[in-house]
Chain A
Amino acid sequence: MTGKPRPDLADAATAPGSDPAGTTMTGKPRPDLADAATAPYWEATARHELVLPRCDGCGLVFFPPRDLCPGCWNRDLSWQPMSGGGTVWTFTEVHVAFYDDTWADDVPYVVAVVELDEGPRLLSNIVDPDMERLSIGDRVEATFEDRGEGLSLPMFRVVE
């Protein structure tokens, strides 16, 4: 939010007739790179590597990263490199830039849930999709999109 808070001048109960500007939002949403529990994940993606936490106790590999194992509550975790391979578990082609123009230059784009070969599922984008052929069960491999200021997002590309 920018500037000092302002009352809602459009509320008919307090001051009818005015029409303040709409919501402002700049840039695509970014994850919190300073979160200690997830920082190693983003440090790895910045190197174009995909790593997920693995519980030293029960062996569970899980997503999203957090500071304890959701399987057994153990806090001794290691970062395990993923192969980058997976399958499309489901997907949607987004045709509308919702809320504001943040995604206006991207539509249509594909959001997918990818099941990694190591088991966990994560949400991402399918880059350069062939919409005539894209299907649940398609094999994909990881790729990375740099978003600047130290952020790279893991994304996926269909492999034949």
Chain B
Amino acid sequence: MSVLDGIAIVGVAETAIGKLPGRSAISLQSDAGVAAVAAAGLDKGDIDGVFSFSGYSQSMMLHAARVAEHLGLRPELAVVTDVGGPGTHHTALLNVAAAIDAGMCTTALCAYGENGISIRRSGRGRAPGTLTGGEDFEAPYGQIAMISGYALFAQRHMHLHGTTSEQLGAVAVTSRYHASLNDNAHKREPITLAAHQASPMISSPLRRLDCSLISDAGGAFVVTSVDRARSLGVRYARVLGYGAATTHHIGSQAPDLHELGGPVAAARAFDRSGLTAADADAVYIHDACTFSVVAGVEALGLCGEGEGGPYVESGVLALGSACPVNLHGGMLSHGHAGGVFHLLDAVRQLQGTAGRRQVDGAEVMVVHGNGGVFSTFSTMILGRDG
């Protein structure tokens, strides 16, 4: 028995995604929050906890208190979690579960997002490279963009396992296909493998179409107790298993590919749920770049170690296969504002509200991925209820 057994995700929402000039991060995060509360059939007076993260493009002190103030809330707890990637949202759920168990909260708003495009114009944005702990020993070498950190691992995977740029391209093409089924996606025009191969090199071996987007967007979800969720009359998602792993911070201190935390986090989550990857009706992998999906399908055990390249190339990522990946379009195509949208779409699948990208009879979703430069990993398994 875990405190996570007692919580339910009852509402999810996202703002428009793309270039939204003049929209502050707080307004995007808060707007998503208001919409998520409405989606849950609740209203402002029901929210007595705020959990959030500012995102890295504009780090803010006491961010959750800022969101609470913006929305006119005075909760007992206003908590920031920053674990990186999906871990940030997963640990928020862990915090909410503990808070509900302790009687400190009944219904929490969890709000995320960034204005990663538009913040730069204000002169307040920060390059993520200055936040990754490499100020002294990496940034002076021009290692200032997250994508270069991922490129180092993609290059090594290619060297050790023969993974190809075309295989990475298959991830990009499928992501865009899924985004074409999602009216709110940032990039919806389908792309071809040839377009991927023709896109300019950014940080070898990663091309522009290997890189996730930068978007202005907000996303939020509302969490309450399972008992309360049942009384709301809405479909909701429950946490079936959760696991994480942390191995390092800066890129040069990473262990080798086979020792990264992905498989460990996934195994912990599956063990705690009593499920395996074969039970997943879809998986959502934090796709900072196409290679993240290659690493992710290996970590989740959907294929063997080093076999991620041929796996993603075989067509099994797409809607209609036994275990499609990133049905909303991922950060490669749907939008990148901190990575909360994977969790939101997994919940939609379980609520049966995913529209043209809905998996029929979806019962089990897996949300997995990393923060930093494969520094922290988090895997959460969600199930349908209500």
Which chain A residues have a beta carbon within 8 Å of chain B's beta carbons?
8-13, 16, 19-24, 28-32, 35, 38, 63-64, 89-96, 98-99, 103, 106, 109, 111, 113, 121-125, 135-137, 147, 153, 155
A-B contact pairs, 13 of them (CB 8 A): A8-B124, A11-B122, A22-B120, A31-B137, A64-B137, A90-B159, A91-B152, A92-B204, A92-B205, A93-B203, A103-B142, A125-B142, A137-B159
Within the complex, the shortest CB–CB distance from B276 to chain A, in Å, comes to 31
B355 at interface by CB-CB < 8 Å: no
Q: Decide: B122 and A113 in contact? CB cutoff 8 A.
A: no
Within the complex, the shortest CB–CB distance from B261 to chain A, in Å, comes to 17
| Contact string against A for B residues 1-40, beta-carbon threshold 8 Å, 1 for contact and 0 otherwise | 0000000000000000000011110010000000000000
Residues of chain B in range 66-125 having any CB-CB distance to chain A below 8 Å: 118, 120-125
Within the complex, the shortest CB–CB distance from A2 to chain B, in Å, comes to 10
| In the complex, chain B residues whose CB is within 8 Å of the CB of A20 | 121-123
B46 at interface by CB-CB < 8 Å: no
Number of B interface residues in the complex (CB < 8 A): 45
| In the complex, chain A residues whose CB is within 8 Å of the CB of B151 | 92
Q: Which 7 A-B pairs have the closest CB atoms?
A: A12-B22, A92-B151, A31-B136, A29-B139, A123-B252, A90-B156, A98-B145
| Contact string against A for B residues 218-243, beta-carbon threshold 8 Å, 1 for contact and 0 otherwise | 00000000000000000000000000
Q: Decide: A13 and B24 in contact? CB cutoff 8 A.
A: yes
B129 at interface by CB-CB < 8 Å: yes
Within the complex, the shortest CB–CB distance from B32 to chain A, in Å, comes to 15
Q: Which of B140, B144, B156 contacts A153 (CB 8 A)?
A: B140
| In the complex, chain A residues whose CB is within 8 Å of the CB of B21 | 10, 12
Within the complex, the shortest CB–CB distance from B288 to chain A, in Å, comes to 14
Q: Decide: B155 and A11 in contact? CB cutoff 8 A.
A: no
Q: Decide: B203 and A94 in contact? CB cutoff 8 A.
A: yes
B307 at interface by CB-CB < 8 Å: no
Q: Decide: A10 and B22 in contact? CB cutoff 8 A.
A: yes
Q: Decide: B121 and A32 in contact? CB cutoff 8 A.
A: no
Give the secondary structure class of A's interface: loop
B341 at interface by CB-CB < 8 Å: no
Q: Decide: B201 and A32 in contact? CB cutoff 8 A.
A: no
Within the complex, the shortest CB–CB distance from A6 to chain B, in Å, comes to 8
A106 to B142, CA, bound (A): 9
| In the complex, chain B residues whose CB is within 8 Å of the CB of A91 | 152, 155
Q: Decide: B141 and A153 in contact? CB cutoff 8 A.
A: yes
A19-B121, A21-B123, A29-B139 in contact; A98/B156 too (CB < 8 A)? no
Q: Decide: A22 and B129 in contact? CB cutoff 8 A.
A: no
B202 at interface by CB-CB < 8 Å: yes
Within the complex, the shortest CB–CB distance from B52 to chain A, in Å, comes to 18
| In the complex, chain B residues whose CB is within 8 Å of the CB of A16 | 22
Q: Decide: A89 and B156 in contact? CB cutoff 8 A.
A: yes
Q: Decide: A98 and B152 in contact? CB cutoff 8 A.
A: no
B130 at interface by CB-CB < 8 Å: yes
Q: A106-B142, A113-B252 are in contact. List 14 more A-B contacts (CB 8 A).
A: A11-B24, A16-B22, A29-B139, A32-B135, A64-B253, A90-B156, A92-B148, A94-B202, A94-B203, A95-B202, A96-B203, A122-B137, A122-B252, A123-B250
B143 at interface by CB-CB < 8 Å: yes
A92-B204, A123-B134 in contact; A28/B155 too (CB < 8 A)? no
- Which of A16, A22, A94 is packed against the most chain B CB atoms within 10 Å? A94
Within the complex, the shortest CB–CB distance from A128 to chain B, in Å, comes to 15
Q: Decide: B251 and A123 in contact? CB cutoff 8 A.
A: yes
B138 at interface by CB-CB < 8 Å: yes
Q: Which of A21, A93, A98 contacts B144 (CB 8 A)?
A: A98
Residues of chain B in range 171-225 having any CB-CB distance to chain A below 8 Å: 200-206
A29 to B142, CA, bound (A): 8
A43 to B121, CA, bound (A): 39
| In the complex, chain A residues whose CB is within 8 Å of the CB of B138 | 123
Q: Decide: B141 and A136 in contact? CB cutoff 8 A.
A: no
B153 at interface by CB-CB < 8 Å: yes
B316 at interface by CB-CB < 8 Å: no
B127 at interface by CB-CB < 8 Å: yes
Q: Decide: A123 and B159 in contact? CB cutoff 8 A.
A: no
Q: Which of A23, A93, A123 contacts B204 (CB 8 A)?
A: A93
A94 to B124, CA, bound (A): 25
A135 to B200, CA, bound (A): 21
- Which of A99, A111, A153 is packed against the most chain B CB atoms within 10 Å? A111
Q: Decide: B159 and A31 in contact? CB cutoff 8 A.
A: no
| In the complex, chain A residues whose CB is within 8 Å of the CB of B140 | 28-31, 147, 153
Q: Decide: A111 and B152 in contact? CB cutoff 8 A.
A: yes
Q: Which of B124, B139, B156, B201 contacts A95 (CB 8 A)?
A: B201
Within the complex, the shortest CB–CB distance from A90 to chain B, in Å, comes to 4
A93 to B205, CA, bound (A): 8
- Which of B23, B24, B144 is packed against the most chain A CB atoms within 10 Å? B144
| In the complex, chain B residues whose CB is within 8 Å of the CB of A12 | 21-23
Q: CB-nearest residue of chain A relative to B115?
A: A11
| In the complex, chain B residues whose CB is within 8 Å of the CB of A38 | 136
A150 to B133, CA, bound (A): 22
